[in-house]
Amino acid sequence: MTKKYVLFCLILGCYLQSISQSYPKNDFVAPLNIPLYLAGVFGECRATHFHAGIDIKTNQVEGLPIFSIGDGYVSRIKVSAFGYGNALYITHPNGYTSVYGHLQSFREDIARYVKQKQYEQETFEIDICPLNHELKCKKGEQVAKSGNTGGSSGPHLHFEIRDSFENTINPQLFGIKIIDNIAPTVTGIAIYNQGKDRFNTVPIILSTKLKSTYFAPYKDTVLLNSDAISFGLEAVDKMNNSTGNNGLYEVELKIDDISYYKFQMNKFHFDETRNVLAYIDQEIKSMFSRNFQRCYTLPNQYFTPQKNKNINRGIYYLDDEACHLVTIYVKDFQQNTSLLKFYVKKDYASTAYKNLSYPYLRVIYPNKDYSYEMGDVSMKIGTKALFDTTYINIQKTNSNSISDVYTIGKATDYFMVPIELGLRVKNIPSSLLDKVILLEKSSGTKNCGGIYENGFVVGKTKSFGLFSLALDTTAPKITPINITSNKIMTKESAIKIAMADNLSGIKYYDGFIDGDWVLFENTGSVLRYKFDMPMTNTTHDLKLEVIDERSNKAVYNTKFVY
């Protein structure tokens, strides 16, 4: 790599930084009127996505008032048993939209609007976009109460700010003040071989310790038998009034004081969020339960926070046998900073990287389409699926009455977009083919769906792993919680009924009282009908239907007095 090229990259990076977008600092107020401490920061790494907002602590309670951060109107309302649960979207005159998730309840007029739409569409789960004159909001006006709905593991407010292009933006860029004066902690460094044998070697993993003013591995100089290397970082950020490990705002890798890689978590598009599966080394995570963040990008990885003044995707070429200083700057949004320092040196006598051999049947490359059958396995892989070159091995591990069971590739091989995967069906009458599903069972059981095509059941998967087919002819299970036949319910505030499915998962449900559809709220596994009918001390008929993904139906009928 020439010095002219390095200089060009530095100049280009400075130019891009100079034209980077600035955000209004005084347009918005805080969404809560309590000191703001975080349980989760913007962009931190979750299992299959980057966190799209900040999680504001609500002192482990529900029901705190939530305020609109600015003038505007409710532009979207989403109600779901999963994800953000009860979520409110408010669009503001400056073009940004604020998002409030896991809410306990909405403002009274918003709640009436939602319930009306649920009854009109006869569904609990709803995603609606009111007109801009229907539900207006003032800056600082209460619009909801905090809660724990959806995929929340404890009471908090999930809060986002988005632009008109569906980019989600770090709320702290808008002057939302978070209390934090604790610098990140660096616990490990991984050094990858990027030479010709990169697929046949494993990274070096070194633990780090805090010296007087910086972190360092136990050896100050690391000897490497490679011509090209890259780095991975294990680090977390602690915050005031929080015991959790939070994500990082900024990472910059410098070698001999030249910046080779920079990651800055200001914004990203929702289409990019699965890049977390390339950003975190999934193989190290699976083997050691440690999260190493790559300080380089994979060949088919395009993620906005990594689009900085990066040289050669963050890969460094060891062109000589001198010692080279590696410095990694690790920052949170408040610019609390930690340093990691050590030296690397090329030494062919070193045994740091040892060649290993992996058995494989086929090599697949990013940016290419693949469509083929290999015995009883079929695949279709699109150009955007792979982050990097992938070696595939297919091994039959077992058999069942429906299909053979196959281990395909590694369960740590994830895809940016799903691929089509099919297994050949055996011993199934044609009348039951629509009941067959593709399952991925590397860790737990994931339903990959599936449609019968020319002897195969073809589903979609977002990773390789352990696959088989299964037959689902069992209806969901309905279990009444607080209702029995002819029970007097006048002292109850709601009817509660549990539902579950053994395999393909619940697709939808409907509840009826005296033949009319009624709103059963879904909390994930328990359905709840809050009485909104007049109390007449008369007998009513209740009917609940639950259908799974393979159209198996369960029906519960009873009578009650209310």
In 10 A of CB 192, how many CB atoms?
Answer: 23
**What are the pLDDT digits (tens) for 195-207?**
988 999 999 999 9
Q: Which CATH class is domain 362-471?
A: mainly beta
Is pLDDT above 80 for 309? Answer: no
Q: Which CATH superfamily is domain 38-174 in?
A: Glucose Permease (Domain IIA) (2.70.70.10)
Query: How far is it, in rounded angstroms, from Cα 151 to Cα 323?
Result: 49
Cβ 440 vs Cβ 463: under 8 Å:
yes
Query: How far is it, in rounded angstroms, from Cα 44 to Cα 276?
Result: 9
Query: How far is it, in rounded angstroms, from Cα 463 to Cα 286?
Result: 14
Q: Which residues of 220-241 are buried (b: 16+ CB within 10 A; e: fewer)?
A: eebbbbbebbbbbbbbbbbbee
Measure the CA dihedral 397/442/277/250, to 10°. -130
Whole-number pLDDT of residue 364: 95
Whole-number pLDDT of residue 17: 40
Is pLDDT above 80 for 3? Answer: no
Tally of CA atoms within 13 A in the half-sphere of 299 that contains its CB: 12
Q: Do domains 38-174 and 477-561 have the same CATH topology?
A: no
The pair phi, psi for residue 4, each rounded to 5°, is -65, -40
Is pLDDT above 80 for 91? Answer: yes
Reduce the DSSP state of residue 489 to 3 states and report it.
coil
Whole-number pLDDT of residue 14: 41
Q: Which pairs with CB-CB distance under 8 Å and at least 24 residues apart come from 496-501?
A: 496/526, 496/527, 496/528, 497/526, 497/527, 497/544, 497/556, 498/525, 498/526, 498/527, 499/525, 499/526, 499/527, 499/546, 499/554, 500/476, 500/525, 501/476, 501/477, 501/546, 501/548, 501/549
Whole-number pLDDT of residue 6: 40
How much is the average pLDDT of 126-144?
A: 97
Q: How confident is the model at residue 515 (pLDDT cuts 50, 70, 90)?
A: very high
How much is the average pLDDT of 69-83?
A: 97
Cβ 135 vs Cβ 117: under 8 Å:
no
Is pLDDT above 70 for 8? Answer: no
Query: How far is it, in rounded angstroms, from Cα 120 to Cα 228?
Result: 62
Domain boundaries, the chain: 38-174, 185-346, 362-471, 477-561
Q: Per DSSP, what are the bridge partners of residue 420?
A: 380, 460
Whole-number pLDDT of residue 241: 86
Enter the DSSP assignment of 476.
P
Q: Range with the lowest mean pLDDT among 11-20, 223-232, 415-424? A: 11-20
Query: How far is it, in rounded angstroms, from Cα 14 to Cα 3?
Result: 17
**What are the pLDDT digits (tens) for 441-477?**
998 899 999 999 999 999 999 999 999 999 999 999 9
Q: How confident is the model at residue 7 (pLDDT cuts 50, 70, 90)?
A: very low
Enter the DSSP assignment of 112.
H
Query: How far is it, in rounded angstroms, from Cα 515 to Cα 69?
Result: 43
Whole-number pLDDT of residue 356: 87
Q: What is the CATH number of domain 477-561?
A: 2.60.40.1220
Of 159, 155, 138, 137, the C-alpha closest to 146 is 155
Tokens of 553: 């139906």
**What are the pLDDT digits (tens) for 375-395?**
999 999 999 999 999 999 999
Whole-number pLDDT of residue 518: 98
Query: How far is it, in rounded angstroms, from Cα 471 to Cα 456?
Result: 14
Of 433, 421, 416, the C-alpha closest to 392 is 421
Cβ 98 vs Cβ 28: under 8 Å:
yes
Whole-number pLDDT of residue 524: 86
Tokens of 351: 């045994």
Tally of CA atoms within 13 A in the half-sphere of 476 that contains its CB: 26
Of 240, 261, 229, 246, the C-alpha closest to 329 is 261
Q: How confident is the model at residue 491 (pLDDT cuts 50, 70, 90)?
A: very high
Cβ-proximal residues to 401 (8 Å cutoff; 6+ apart), any chain: 426, 427, 471
Is pLDDT above 90 for 21? Answer: no
Query: How far is it, in rounded angstroms, from Cα 245 to Cα 39?
Result: 9
Whole-number pLDDT of residue 400: 86
Query: How far is it, in rounded angstroms, from Cα 333 to Cα 42?
Result: 10
> Percentage of the chain with pLDDT > 70?
96
Strands (E) in 368-410, as ranges, are 370-374, 377-381, 390-392, 394-399, 404-408
**What are the pLDDT digits (tens) for 334-378?**
999 999 999 999 999 999 999 888 778 899 999 999 999 989 999
